[in-house]
């Protein structure tokens, strides 16, 4: 009697290409990023030489097709790489995350063929991108933005200010959202491709942050910035669709960053508990510590499954809105709880910068805030399950 193989591959099982990228990203993080982490955190700046290496490694254009000089990979491969980089440094992780899941994805989804041919090779190999949506009065209420764009012949003239712009200090290509028709509300919002050297465009105040300190977060000022009409990304008045659909994908990237942070903290804690001796034996020999380690490992794996599931759904063209919100919400909860427990298990050493877990803890907090707060994720989940 023949039998049917009902084995279902584990969600975390990787293809050969995904495994190769995971290993390459892991080695790059260990050899090139790890020695720089403390110095970059203290200086609140990414090492410029490291940025060059990101491009050389192909980590800034993973999903960009080969015909545009990119890696020709998948969205899921980007998620795997972001996780591995974030295991060592969340600032480096979000640096490549914004490039891949927000900027590149926006061009891939909404760009014309001419725009793809012009901009994607540059983004894959040379220049950093930034995504400019938030403003002082426009955070969770993203469509309350006040930046304006007025038509003037063959150009639009942009005015306004953007806040909390990740990668702004390093970026040379900016996706800027402004309203061409405020009377139409969110239906006037339009996405523009703006180059850093445009007249009237400037990167202003750099925020002094609690965590992900080496990742630049700056204010961007627009003062009569003339943008040619061919630099409209997508349709005029459809910027709200560009913003929301891209952010839905970006939230999975933040989920990958959070599980990377949690895994990095757990790895350090596991090693420490096996080395640290108290009462004549390693503290990992005590059942109380073992139970805490077991909970940490279980929470991380649960978060990873949520993130990977959302990434697989997105990569296969299926609906993923609810799953992305769940992944982002839960992984940020896990990152904060795991890194906090890591400090507890390190004891006094966990509270000093000589050991890595205090930085993991500081870095974890942003997960509940950017690219949609936890409350906004819960609202999305509730809407989806009540449909």
Which residues carry out catalysis? Answer: 371
Alpha-helix runs per DSSP H in 29-99: 37-43, 48-56, 75-86, 90-97
Taken as a whole, the chain contains a residue count of 387
Structure-block tokens of residue 220: 């961007």
DSSP class of residue 207 equals P
DSSP class of residue 211 equals S
Residue 230, Cβ neighbours under 10 Å: how many?
A: 12
Round to whole Å and give the CA distance between 256 and 269.
Answer: 20
Round to whole Å and give the CA distance between 371 and 52.
Answer: 26
Q: What residues are paired with 189 via a beta bridge?
A: 179
Q: Are 171 and 130 in contact (CB under 8 A)?
A: yes
Round to whole Å and give the CA distance between 66 and 121.
Answer: 9
Block residue for tokens 């005029």:
236
Residue 245, Cβ neighbours under 10 Å: how many?
A: 16
Sign of dihedral through CA atoms 343, 82, 208, 46? positive
Name every residue whose Cβ is closer than 8 Å to that of residue 293 and which is 6 or more positions away in sequence: 266, 269, 270, 273, 284, 345
Closest CA to 206 of 197, 194, 218, 215: 218
Residue 281, Cβ neighbours under 10 Å: how many?
A: 10
Structure-block tokens of residue 360: 């993991």
**Beta-strand relationship, 201-206 and 189-195:** unpaired
Q: What angle do CA 352, 168, 96 make, to 5 degrees?
A: 70
Q: Are 324 and 310 in contact (CB under 8 A)?
A: yes
Please provide residue 25's backbone torsions phi and psi, each rounded to the nearest 5 degrees.
Answer: -65, -40
């Amino acid at each position: 009697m023949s039998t049917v193989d009902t084995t279902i591959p584990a969600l975390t099982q990787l293809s050969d290409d995904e495994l190769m990228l995971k290993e390459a990203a892991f080695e790059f993080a260990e050899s090139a990023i790890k020695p720089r982490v403390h110095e970059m955190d203290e200086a609140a700046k990414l090492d410029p030489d490291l940025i060059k290496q990101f491009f050389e490694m192909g980590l800034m254009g993973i999903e960009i097709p080969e015909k545009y000089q990119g890696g020709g990979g998948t969205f899921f491969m980007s998620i795997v790489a972001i996780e591995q980089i974030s295991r060592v440094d969340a600032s480096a992780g979000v640096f490549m995350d914004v490039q891949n899941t927000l900027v590149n994805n926006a061009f891939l989804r909404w760009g014309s063929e001419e725009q793809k041919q012009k901009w994607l090779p540059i983004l894959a190999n040379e220049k950093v991108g930034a995504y400019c949506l938030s403003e002082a009065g426009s955070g969770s209420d993203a469509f309350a933005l006040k930046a304006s764009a007025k038509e003037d012949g063959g150009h639009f003239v942009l005015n306004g200010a953007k806040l909390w712009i990740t990668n702004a200090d390093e970026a040379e290509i900016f996706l800027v959202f402004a309203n061409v028709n405020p009377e139409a509300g969110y239906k006037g919002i339009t996405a523009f491709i703006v180059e850093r050297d445009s007249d009237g465009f400037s990167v202003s105040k750099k925020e002094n942050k609690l965590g992900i300190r080496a990742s630049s977060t700056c204010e961007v000022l627009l003062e009569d910035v003339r943008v040619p009409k061919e630099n409209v990304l997508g349709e005029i008045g459809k910027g709200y669709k560009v913003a929301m659909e891209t952010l839905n994908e970006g939230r999975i990237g933040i989920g990958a960053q959070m599980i990377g942070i949690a895994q990095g903290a757990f790895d350090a804690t596991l090693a420490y508990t096996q080395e640290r001796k108290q009462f004549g034996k390693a503290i990992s020999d005590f059942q109380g510590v073992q139970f805490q380690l077991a909970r940490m490992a279980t929470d991380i794996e649960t978060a990873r499954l949520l993130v990977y599931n959302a990434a697989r759904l997105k990569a296969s063209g299926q609906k993923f809105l609810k799953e992305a919100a769940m992944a982002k919400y839960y992984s940020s909860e896990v990152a904060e709880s795991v890194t906090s427990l890591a400090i507890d298990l390190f004891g006094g050493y966990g509270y000093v910068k000589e050991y890595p877990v205090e930085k993991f803890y500081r870095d974890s907090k942003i997960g509940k805030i950017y690219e949609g707060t936890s409350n906004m994720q819960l609202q999305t989940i509730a809407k989806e399950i009540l449909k």
